[in-house]
Structure 1
Amino acid sequence: MEVLVVGATGTLGRQVARRALDEGHQVRCLVRNLRKATFLKEWGAELIQGDLCKPETLPDALSGIQVVIDAATARATDSLRIQRVDWEGKVALIQAAQAAGIERYIFFSILNAEKFPKVPLMNIKHCTEQFLAESGLNYTILRPCGFMQGLIGQYAVPILDNQVVWVTGTGSPIAYMDTLDVAKFAVRALTLPETEKRTFPIVGTRAWGAYEIINLCERLSGQTARTARLELPVLRGIRRVLRFFQWGWNVSDRLAFAEVLASNQPLDASMEEVYQVFGFNPDETTTLESYLQEYFSRIMKKLKEIGYEKEKQKQKKKRQKSPFKSKTKS
């Protein structure tokens, strides 16, 4: 199939593009910065420059395309607000897909988006789901709730660096999934009529609370974590301050997601029917334990290698030093 991947330079999008290429699809990637997307070209994807916030760039990107896989979202570091990218940009993309006669549209939403109307990203995802369902396009909506890749910077790295790990409230349990596994579902949906005009949760093997993840990281790294709790009223205060500044709008919208984490509502769902429809074996899904174990094994090995090399250099410098010769008076 001729597939357009939107958001292909992101954590999830790059795995979707790679999986689609590995399964023999012709992949085109819509990217804002061609230089930052060279790795996609090296993998075999075609790059086309465009921007969701510039609707005039979308028709060329969709020319000759059969399927759109939409994994794009505003990043916390972006200057543009979530509203601009995740709503206005997605509406423009869906409308352009309608005009281009796209056969399938795969959209990544968020699990339980409809339950948090006051959280900007969740509300926008839910509204986009509705807009897509009413568009007349042949769609599939996938609803993950968290990626294992994000846990490295949130938990693993601070623990290894002896930095504070911040936890919001008690931390709602989340069924994190490896983006490689999420990508499998997206690409499989392209060839399954059973997934047409349906919505599926895409979640990991079990939901994990923040302190459970911290304890797991401590055990795997052999180090003790320094933790601190960030209460919701404090975060709300920070959000109010940030909203006074245009550069802080996007960060403020992102911080609102703390409302979800502090709700104590587990982000989890049954995957039994999903595995049956997609034809995957649940035993082949990466568990959080195995994912973090592999990470810590690699990083600890690397740290040992670095320590060994430093010791070698230290010994070498000692040997290169000239011996001290004392001067004696005749």
Structure 2
Amino acid sequence: MNLLVVGATGTLGRQVVRRALDEGHQVRCLVRSPRKATFLKEWGAELVQGNLCEPDTLPPALEGITAIIDAATSRPTGSLTIKQVDWDGKVALIQAAAAAGVERFVFFSILNCEKFPKVPLMEIKRCTELFLAESGLNYTILQPAGFMQGLIMQYAVPILEGQAVWITGEAAPTAYMDTQDIAKFAVRALEVPETTNKTFPVVGTRAWRADEIISLCERLSGKDARIARLPINFLRAMRQITRFFQWGWNIADRLAFTEVLATGKPMTASMDEVYPVFGLDPNDTTTLEAYLQEYFSRITKKLREIDYEKSKAKKKKRKTPMKKP
């Protein structure tokens, strides 16, 4: 299948590209900067320069394409807003795909987006779901809750470096999933007719609270966490402040996500009926324990190698004979 991956350089998008290539698909990636996407070309993907926010660049990228997997989203620190990328850009892409006769469109939304109309990203995801469903395209909508990869910088790295781990006491438990596993569902959707014009949750094996993740990281790293708590009301106030500045609009919209956390309701869903539809084995899904265990094992091994090289360099320096005057 000739596949176009949008958002291919992102945390999830790159795993979609890797999985699709491994399964024998011809993969083309829509990228804003080919220079920053050379690793995708080295893997075997074709790069085409384009931008969701520049609709004229989309038709050339869609020539000969039979399916799209859309993993693009705005960056909190980027210059483009959520509305520009996650709404205007997606509308342009869906319209271009319909005009090009694309046969399948896989879209990544967010779990429970319909329940939070006042949270910009959630509401835009919901509206995009509706727009896609009414576009005439054969679609599959996948709804992750959170990526395990995001927990590394949020919890693992600060604990390893003795820095503060910032948490909110009311944060909702979340069923995080490894992006490699999410990519399996996305690529598999292209081959399973039963996934056509349907929406599926794609979540991890269980929902984890922040304190549970911290305890797990402490056990695996052998270090104690320095926990700093941020009240939800403080984050709400920060959102109001950043909204007054254009440079802060993206940050303000992301801070609105605190309203999802404030509910305290687990971000999870049953996957009992999802795995059989996709023909995937739930036992192959990475657990959070296994994911963090592998991460800390790699870090520990790397630190040992560094210590060994330092020790070897010191011994070599001591053995070097002094030069005669």
TM value normalised by structure 1: 0.96
Q: 1:169 deviation in Å?
A: 2.7
Which runs of 5 or more structure 2 residues have no equivalent in the other structure?
Answer: none
Equivalent residue number for residue 45 of structure 2: 45
Q: 1:243 deviation in Å?
A: 1.4
Equivalent residue number for residue 94 of structure 2: 94
Equivalent residue number for residue 8 of structure 1: 8
- Rg: which structure is higher? 1
Equivalent residue number for residue 291 of structure 2: 291
Equivalent residue number for residue 129 of structure 2: 129
Return the alpha-carbon distance in structure 1 between the equivalents of residues 86 and 120 of structure 2: 10
Q: Aligned AA for 1:274?
A: V
Return the alpha-carbon distance in structure 2 between the equivalents of residues 311 and 115 of structure 1: 57
Q: 1:314 deviation in Å?
A: 2.6
Return the alpha-carbon distance in structure 2 between the equivalents of residues 227 and 32 of structure 1: 38
* Residues 12-31 of structure 1: pairs in structure 2 closer than 5 A: 12-31=12-31
Please tell me the root mean square deviation across aligned C-alpha atoms, in Å.
1.3
Return the alpha-carbon distance in structure 2 between the equivalents of residues 154 and 294 of structure 1: 17
Return the alpha-carbon distance in structure 2 between the equivalents of residues 313 and 164 of structure 1: 33
Paired residues in the alignment total 324
Q: 1:258 deviation in Å?
A: 1.8
Deviates more, 1:252-261 or 1:269-278: 252-261
How big is each residue's C-alpha offset from its partner over 1:67-125, in whole Å with a ceiling of 9 and x where there is no partner? 01000000112111111100000001001111111101000000000111111111110
Return the alpha-carbon distance in structure 2 between the equivalents of residues 48 and 130 of structure 1: 28
Equivalent residue number for residue 187 of structure 1: 187
Q: Is 2:152 aligned against 1:152?
A: yes
Q: Aligned AA for 1:24?
A: G
Q: 1:321 deviation in Å?
A: 7.3
Which runs of 5 or more structure 1 residues have no equivalent in the other structure?
Answer: 324-330
Return the alpha-carbon distance in structure 2 between the equivalents of residues 17 and 302 of structure 1: 28
Return the alpha-carbon distance in structure 2 between the equivalents of residues 56 and 85 of structure 1: 15
Q: 1:164 deviation in Å?
A: 0.3
Equivalent residue number for residue 117 of structure 2: 117
Equivalent residue number for residue 273 of structure 1: 273
Deviates more, 1:306-315 or 1:52-61: 306-315
Return the alpha-carbon distance in structure 1 between the equivalents of residues 4 and 261 of structure 2: 33
Q: Aligned AA for 1:146?
A: G
Contact preservation (8 Å) 1:170, 1:210: no
Return the alpha-carbon distance in structure 1 between the equivalents of residues 45 and 239 of structure 2: 39
Contact preservation (8 Å) 1:218, 1:225: yes
Return the alpha-carbon distance in structure 2 between the equivalents of residues 27 and 88 of structure 1: 24
Contact preservation (8 Å) 1:53, 1:84: yes
Q: What secondary structure does 2:172 align onto?
A: coil
Q: 1:304 deviation in Å?
A: 1.4
How big is each residue's C-alpha offset from its partner over 1:32-59, in whole Å with a ceiling of 9 and x where there is no partner? 0000000111111110000000000000
Query: Percent identity between the aligned chains?
Result: 72
Q: Aligned AA for 1:159?
A: I
Contact preservation (8 Å) 2:107, 2:140: yes
Q: What secondary structure does 2:229 align onto?
A: strand
List, as ranges, runs of 4+ consecutive aligned residues in structure 1 with deviation greater than 4 Å: none
Q: What secondary structure does 2:170 align onto?
A: coil
Contact preservation (8 Å) 1:147, 1:178: yes
* Residues 304-315 of structure 1: pairs in structure 2 closer than 5 A: 304-315=304-315
Q: What secondary structure does 2:273 align onto?
A: helix
Change beyond 3 A, Cα 1:319–1:115: same
Q: Aligned AA for 2:59?
A: P
